[in-house]
Structure 1
Amino acid sequence: MSLAGVTGNANDGTRDLLDGLTAADVAQRVAAGQTNDVPARASRSVAQIIRANVLTRINAIYAVLFVLVMSTGYFLDGIFGVLIVANSAIGVVQELRAKRTLEKLAIIGQSRPRVRRDGQSAEIAPNEVVLDDVIELGAGDQVVVDGTVLAAEALEVDESLLTGESDPVVKAPGDRVLSGSFVVAGSGVYTATKVGRDAYAARLAEEASKFTLVKSELRSGIDRILKVITYLLVPAGLLTIYNQLAGDQAWPEAIRGMVAALVPMVPEGLILMTSIAFAVGVIRLGRYKCLVQELPAIEGLARVDVVCADKTGTLTENGMRLAEVRVRNTGESSANAARALAALAAADPRPNASLQAIAEAHPNDPGWTVTGTAPFSSARKWSGASFGEHGNWLLGAPDVLLAEGSVERAEAERIGARGLRVLLLARSDRPVDAEDAPGRVSPVALVVLEQRIRPDAKDTIDYFHDQRVGMKVISGDNATSVGAVASGLGLPGADRPVDARTLPSEPEPLADAVEAGTVFGRVDPGQKRAMVGALQSRGHTVAMTGDGVNDVLALKDADIGVAMGSGSQASRAVAQIVLLDNKFATLPKVVAEGRRVIGNIERVSNLFLTKTVYSVLLALMIGMAQVPYPFLPRHVTITAWFTIGVPAFILSLAPNTERARSGFVGRVMRMAIPAGIVISVATFVSYLLVYQGPGASQVDRIQAGTTALITLIVIALWVLAIVARPYSWWKVGLILGMAGLSTAMFLMPLTQKYFELDPSNLAGTAKALLCGGVGILVVEAVWWVNRWWSRRQAAVGEPLPA
Structure 2
Amino acid sequence: MAYDETGTDGIAVLAADGLTADQVAERVAAGKTNDVPDRASRSIRDIVRANVFTRINAILGILLGIVLATGSIIDGMFGLLIIANSGIGIIQEVRAKRTLDKLAIVSQTKPVVRRDGTAVAMAPREVVLDDLIELGSGDQIVVDGVVVEASALDIDESLLTGEADPVHKSVGDPVLSGSFVAAGSGCYRATKVGSDAYAAKLAEEASKFTLVHSELRSGIDKILKFITYLMIPAGLLIIYNQLFSSGQSLRPALNGMVAALVPMVPEGLVLMTSIAFAVGVVRLGQRQCLVQELPAIEGLARVDVVCADKTGTLTENGMRLSELRCAEPEDAGPAGVALAAMAADDPRPNASVLAIREAFPDNPGWGEATAQAPFSSAKKWSGQSYGSHGNWVLGAPDVLLDPGSVMARQAEDAGASGLRVLLLGSCDVPVDHPAAPGVVTPRALVILEQRVRPDARGTLEYFASQNVTVKVISGDNAVSVGAVAGSLGLPGGERPVDARTLPSDPESLADTLEDSTTFGRVRPDQKREMVAALQSRGHTVAMTGDGVNDVLALKDADIGVSMGSGSPATRAVAQIVLLDNKFATLPYVVGEGRRVIGNIERVSNLFLTKTVYSVLLAFLIGLTGALSQVFDFEPVPYPFLPRHVTIAAWFTIGIPAFILSLAPNNERARSGFVPRVMRLAVPSGVIIGVTTFISYLLVYAGPEQTQTQKVQAGTSALITLIMIALWVLAVVARPYVWWKLVLIFGSVAAYLVLFALPFTRTFFELDPTNVAATTSALACGLVGVVLVEVAWWVTGRLHGEHRRLFAPPEDLPGRQ
For normalisation by structure 2, the TM-score amounts to 0.95
Q: Name the amino acid aligned to 1:335.
A: G
Give the aligned residue type for 2:595.
R
Contact 2:212 2:293 survives alignment (8 Å): no
Opposite residue 663 of structure 2, the aligned amino acid is A
Deviations 1:276-296 (Å, cap 9, x if unpaired)? 000000000100011111111
**Which residue matches 2:557?**
558
- Superposition deviation, residue 514 in structure 1: 0.9
Compute the displacement of 1:343 (Å).
1.1
Structure 1, residues 547-570: CA drift from partner, whole Å, max 9, x if none?
110111111111111111111000
Residue 419, structure 1, aligned to residue 428, structure 2: no
Give the C-alpha shift of residue 202 in structure 1. 2.3
Q: Give per-residue Cα distances to partners, 1:32-71, cap 9 Å, x unaligned.
A: 1110011334522111111111111111111111111112
Alignment partner of 1:154 is 2:152: yes
- Aligned partner of 1:74 in structure 2 is 72
Query: Residue 176 of structure 2 aligns to which amino acid in structure 1?
Result: L
CA-to-partner distance for each residue in 1:391-439, whole Å, 9 max, x for gaps?
1111000111112212111111111000000001111110111111111
Instruction: Specify the code of the residue in structure 1 equivalent to 2:766.
Output: L
Match of 1:600 in 2: 599
Q: Where does residue 749 of structure 1 map in the other structure?
A: 758
1:215 Cα deviation from its structure 2 partner? 3.8
Residues 562 and 233 of structure 1, relative CA distance in 2, 3 Å threshold:
same
Structure-2 change in CA distance of 1:407 and 1:146 (3 Å): same
- Cα deviation, 1:476-500, whole Å, max 9, x if unaligned, reads 0001101111111111110111111
User: What is aligned with 1:202?
Assistant: 200
| Structure 2: segments with no counterpart, 5+ residues | 1-6, 626-635, 804-809, 812-816
1:185 match: 183
d(CA) in 1 for partners of 2:306, 2:798: 29
Of residues 738-747 and 626-635 in structure 1, the stretch that sits farther from structure 2 once superposed is 738-747
Q: Deviations over 1:688-732 (max 9, x none)?
A: 111111111111111111111111101100100111111111110
Residues 1:336 and 2:345 aligned together: no
Q: SS of the residue aligned with 2:189? A: strand
Native 8 Å contact 1:146 1:179 kept in 2: yes
Q: How many residues matched?
A: 787
The answer on whether the counterparts of 1:150 and 1:174 sit within 8 Å (CA) in structure 2 is yes
CA distance, structure 1, for counterparts of residue 117 and residue 238 of structure 2: 77
CA distance change for structure 1 residues 634 and 239 in 2, over 3 Å: closer, same or farther?
same
What secondary structure, in the 3-state scheme, does the structure 2 residue paired with 1:520 have?
strand
Deviation at 1:227, TM superposition (A): 0.7
Q: Give the conservation status (yes or no) of the 8 Å contact 2:40–2:100.
A: no
The one-letter code sitting in structure 1 at the alignment partner of 2:606 is: L
Give the alignment partner of residue 671 of structure 1, picking from 670, 675, 680. 680
Q: CA deviation at 1:763?
A: 1.6
- The aligned residue for residue 274 of structure 2 is 275
The secondary structure found in structure 2 opposite 1:791 is: coil
1:473 aligns with 2:455: no
Q: Give the letter for the 1:689 counterpart.
A: L
Name the CA shift for 1:790/1:493 in 2 (closer, same or farther; >3 Å).
farther
Match in the other structure for 1:487: 486
TM-aligned CA deviation for residue 792 of structure 1? 6.0
Structure-1 separation of matches of 2:259 and 2:147: 69
Match for residue 61 of structure 2? 63
CA distance in structure 1 between the aligned counterparts of 2:716 and 2:802, rounded to whole angstroms: 40
Match for residue 17 of structure 2? Answer: 19
2: CA distance, partners of 1:491 / 1:44: 43
- 2:297 aligned partner: 298
Contact preservation (8 Å) 1:41, 1:206: no
Q: 1:516: Cα distance to partner?
A: 1.1
Q: What is the rounded CA distance, in whole Å, between the counterparts of 2:442 and 2:617 in structure 1? A: 85
Task: Provide the C-alpha distance between the structure 1 equivalents of 2:282 and 2:208, rounded to a whole number of angstroms.
Answer: 16
Distance, in Å, in 2 between the alignment partners of 1:555 and 1:208 is: 18
From the superposition, tell whether residues 409 and 213 of structure 1 become closer, same or farther in structure 2 (CA, over 3 Å): closer
Instruction: Provide the rounded CA distance (Å) in 1 between the counterparts of 2:10 and 2:49.
Output: 57
**Residue type of the alignment partner of 1:386:** S
Distance 2:598 2:482 in 1: 35
**8 Å CA contact retained: 1:156, 1:169:** yes
Mapped partners of 2:147, 2:656: distance in 1 = 60
Task: Supply the distance in 1 between the matched residues of 2:221 and 2:801 (Cα, whole angstroms).
Answer: 28
| Deviations, residues 259-290 of structure 1 (Å, cap 9, x unaligned) | 10000000000000010000000000100011
Q: 8 Å contact 2:701–2:709 — kept in the other structure?
A: yes
Residue 731 of structure 2 is aligned to residue 732 of structure 1: no
Q: Using the TM superposition, give the Cα deviation of residue 750 of structure 1 relative to its aligned residue in structure 2, in angstroms.
A: 1.2
Choose 770-779 or 678-687, whichever is displaced more: 770-779
**Do residues 223 (structure 1) and 224 (structure 2) align?**
no
**1:680-759 alignment runs, 5 A limit:** 680-759=689-768
**Aligned residue type for 2:478:** A
1:791, 1:191 → 2: CA distance?
A: 63
Q: Distance in 1 between matches of 2:231 and 2:801?
A: 34
AA of the residue aligned to 1:45: S
Offset of residue 788 of structure 1: 2.4
Q: How does 1:535-684 map to 2 (within 5 A)?
A: 535-626=534-625, 627-684=636-693
Give the C-alpha shift of residue 15 in structure 1.
2.1
Question: How does the TM-score come out when normalised to structure 1?
Answer: 0.96
Aligned to 2:363: 365
1:780 pairs with 2:789: yes
The residue that corresponds to 2:239 in the other structure is 241
* Counterpart position of 1:378: 377
Aligned partner of 1:322 in structure 2 is 321
Identity across the alignment (%): 70
Which SS does the other structure have where 1:333 is aligned? helix
Deviation of the 1:12 alpha carbon: 6.0
Partner of residue 133, structure 1: 131
Structure 1: gaps of 5 or more residues: 1-8, 795-800
Aligned to 1:101: 99
Displacement of 1:13: 5.1
Secondary structure at the residue paired with 2:580?
coil
Deviates more, 1:33-42 or 1:293-302: 33-42
Q: Which amino acid aligns with 1:109?
A: S
| Conserved 8 A contact 1:240-1:619 | yes
1:313 aligns with 2:321: no
Q: 1:73: how far off?
A: 1.7
Instruction: Answer whether contact 2:541 2:557 (CA < 8 A) is retained.
Output: yes
Contact 2:796 2:802 in 1 (8 A): no
Kindly provide the CA deviation profile for residues 504-534 of structure 1, in whole angstroms up to 9, marking residues without a partner as x: 1111111111111111000011111111111
**Secondary structure of the residue that 1:760 maps to in structure 2?**
coil
Query: Residues of 1 paired with 2:221 and 2:207: CA distance?
Result: 22
Q: Are 1:532 and 1:557, in contact at CA under 8 Å, matched by a contact in 2? A: yes
* Mapped partners of 1:48, 1:75: distance in 2: 32
* Distance apart, 1:199 and its partner CA: 1.1
Alignment of 1:791-802 (within 5 A): 791=800
Contact 1:603 / 1:724 at 8 angstroms: preserved in 2?
yes
Q: Measured at CA, do residues 210 and 26 of structure 1 come closer, stay the same or move farther in structure 2, by a change above 3 Å?
A: farther
C-alpha change, 1:419 and 1:690, in structure 2 (3 Å) is same
Structure 2 residue aligned with 1:430: 429
State the distance in 2 between where 1:664 and 1:224 align. 11
